[in-house]
Amino acid sequence: MDSSPRWLPPQAPGSSPPPAWEPATQPPSPPAPPPYIEQRPSTLKRLIGPLILAGALLLKFGAKLKFLLIAAKGAKFLTTSASMLVSIGAYALIWGWKFAVGFVVLLFVHEMGHYIQLRREGVRPSAMVFIPFLGAVVTAKSLGGNAVAEARVGLAGPILGSLGAAGVAAAGFALDSDLLLALAFTGFFLNLFNLLPVTPLDGGRAMAAMAPWMWFVGLAAVFTLVFVWPNPILILIALVGGFDVYHRWKARRQGGEEAQTYYRVRPRHRVAVGAVYVGLIVLLALGMDATFIERSFDDV
C-alpha cells in the first residue's frame, strides 16, 4: 500500500520533499511616538513678534497712503493736461493747431508764475485749470498773509509770462517766423491786459499793496472797454471785478484791526511794487510794438 499522505501531490523522482507547513506570523507593530513636549517661545521672540507685525501693517497701509498721495497728484496732472487739450482744440478751430499750442503754452507759463509764488508764500495752490476763451486759473485758499504777499502773487504771473513771450519773440526774430512773432505779440498783450488795476486781474492784486482806491480807476477802465468794445469776456471781468471791489472796499473800511493790518504796507514795499508794476507796463508795450506785424486782407 502507498503510505504517502493523500493531501500532498505526488513528487517527481529525485525532487526534495516540500517544506513543512508553518503558521502565518503577525507584522511587527510600529514604534510608539515620542512623548509631546510643549515648546514656548523665548522672551525675545515674544517681544519682537508684535513689533514685526506692526511694521508689516505700517508698510502695508503706508504703501496705500503713498498710492493715494500719488493718485491725488496724478488727478491734478490729469485735470491740468485734460483742460489744456480741450483749450488747444477750441483755439485750433479758430487759429489753427500750431498757434493754439503756442498760445496755451504761454498761458501755462503765465499761470506757473502764480503757482510758484504761491508755494513760496507757503500756500498750497489748486490744480491749474484752462478755460477756453477765458484763459487759465490757479486758485488757493489765500494769497498770502498780507497785501504785499498778494501783490507778489499777482505780479509773478505777468513777470514770468512776459519772459516767456520775450523768449518766443527772440525765436521769432532769429527764425524770421511770423507765427512766433504773432504768438509773442499775443503773449505781451495778454500780460499787459492782466495788469489792469481791477480784481480779479493781476493788476488788481498789485493795487492791494499800492493804492486800493485804484481799483475804482481800473473798474472804470474795464466798463469803458465794455462800452467801446463789448464782448463776453470783458463783461464777465466787469461784473466779477465790480463785486470784488465792493466787498474788498467794504471789508477794508469795516474789517477792524485785522483788515487794517492786512493792507498796512511799508513805504519801501509800496515803491518796489509800483516800480515793478510800471516797469512791466512799459516793457510789455515796447514788446507789443516790436512784434507787431501789419496785415491786410490781401495777406489772408
The count of domains in the chain is 1
Residue 156 lies in a domain: yes
pLDDT of residue 17: 57
Residue 54 lies in a domain: no
pLDDT of residue 66: 44
Residue 29 lies in a domain: no
Taking the whole predicted model, whether its pTM rises above 0.85 is answered as: no
pLDDT of residue 39: 53
> What angle, 0 to 180 degrees and rounded to 10, lies between the N-to-C axes of helices 43-95 and 97-120?
140
pLDDT of residue 240: 87
Which residue(s) pair with 193 in the sheet? none
pLDDT of residue 57: 52
**What span, in angstroms and rounded, lies between the C-alpha atoms of 172 and 166?**
10
Q: E-assigned strands of 94-236?
A: 129-131, 135-137
pLDDT of residue 69: 40
Residue 193 lies in a domain: yes
pLDDT of residue 195: 92
Cα angle: 215, vertex 217, 218; to 5 degrees: 65
Closest CA relative to residue 288, chosen from 218, 157, 193: 193
Gyration radius of the chain's alpha carbons: 42
155: containing domain:
69-299
DSSP-derived secondary structure letter, 140: -
DSSP H or E stretch at residue 142 = none
Residue 175 lies in a domain: yes
Which parts of the chain sit beneath pLDDT 70? 1-76, 255, 295-300
pLDDT of residue 246: 86
Give residue-wise pLDDT tens across range 89-128. 999 998 899 999 999 999 999 999 999 999 999 888 888 8
Cell numbers standing for residue 40? 514656548
pLDDT of residue 14: 55
Give residue-wise pLDDT tens across range 249-287. 887 777 677 777 888 888 899 999 999 999 999 999 999
Residue 268 lies in a domain: yes
pLDDT of residue 58: 47
Neighbours of 112 (CB within 10 A): 18
**What span, in angstroms and rounded, lies between the C-alpha atoms of 124 and 185?**
32
Closest CA relative to residue 95, chosen from 132, 127, 59, 123: 132
Residue 59 lies in a domain: no
Residue 269 lies in a domain: yes
